Amino acid sequence: MKNDTLTVVLLNYGARLHQLFAPDKKGHLENVLLTYDSLSNVLTDQSYFGAMVGPVAGRIKNGSWANHQLEQNEGKHHIHGGSNGWSFQYWEAEVFKNYTTIGVSFTLQDSFSGYPGPITATVTYQLTQNELEMIIKTSSPTETICNPTNHAYFNLSGNGKREIYDHELTVQMKGLLELDNEKIPTGKLLAAHDLPLDFNRPHTLKEILDYYPKGLDDVFVLTPEKKTLTLLEKQAGRQLTIATTNKSMVLFSTTGFEANFWIHGQKMHSNYGLAIEPQEFPDAVHFPEFGSIALHPKQEKISSTTYQFNTIKDMNT
């Protein structure tokens, strides 16, 4: 789908955000996502490139909650909806258009992932001027849990020309969730003012990775007043602002991610993209204080995330 500012390519396998073309400061449209060079790689993807992740994104400790046992597909834990999750299913697609907006709605009735259900999910991607909005609606006749996200990897240099070191990141955040060595939340919040770096102010990824040499793979707890993240690549002049209704964003800097597949004509390599995953807190089923991700019978849950693109022509003004 295409308007005067943005062009988006979507796939019905995993309701994926496959390519997103945005202008640089000279008006050149380039893809700002990490995208497989071969569509055949999409069908064997295990890294969730642009995928709709669900029913529950992130890890569930021991794959269990209440009296339910889910697939343990990462060691003893469950991750990203399991090996039959939403990322690996085919969705029905419907296109719509009006005077200001063009969009695609993907619908899935999921009885395949192993979660109680069936869960009906609708993901709508719509373009209006310089914004891509993603709206996720879920419902089920059965008590279940749901905490979906999109797992796009961003690189604002355009067509993957450069690594992400010069990207400037700002997150309106209260802090990070403390994670154990298996990336499971402990229940503790690491307050923003206790961190080695103030993420509420812009820092380049190079600066951030100096403090976090193993890379980011962290849960950023957003401020309730302003749930936004800004990413800026000055050389291209692209600025991305992401606003969400969710409480957190998981950021994964692809540090150490070396793989034998091709992205923008290069083998996938460390610090090549930043995955940004808006969601409720991971493993919320084990921490009542995190808020509920329960989906009650006949209830409809709605979340939305907006990706706004701007160009910064003169960085000195």
User: What are the binding residues?
Assistant: 151-153, 217
* pLDDT score at 23: 98
Q: Is 258 a catalytic residue?
A: no
User: Are the C-beta atoms of 35 and 18 separated by less than 8 Å?
Assistant: yes
* pLDDT score at 67: 94
- For residue 100, what are the CA distances in angstroms to 23, 130, 205? 19, 11, 35
* pLDDT score at 316: 41
Q: Is 78 a catalytic residue?
A: no
Domain spans in the chain, listed from the N-terminal domain onward:
7-311
Task: Express each pLDDT in 177-190 by its tens digit.
Answer: 999 999 999 999 99
Q: Residues 26, 29, 30, 35: what is their CA dihedral angle, to the nearest 10 degrees?
A: 160
CATH for the stretch 7-311: 2.70.98.10
Task: Express each pLDDT in 18-43 by its tens digit.
Answer: 999 999 999 999 999 999 999 999 99
**What is the residue whose two structure tokens read 């308007």?**
3
One of 30, 71, 168, 277 is an active-site residue; which one?
A: 277
User: What are the binding residues for beta-D-galactose?
Assistant: 151-153, 217
List of the chain residues with pLDDT < 70: 314-317
Q: Output the pTM of the full model.
A: 0.97
One of 78, 151, 167, 264 is an active-site residue; which one?
A: 151
What's the farthest any 2 CA atoms get from each other in the chain? 58
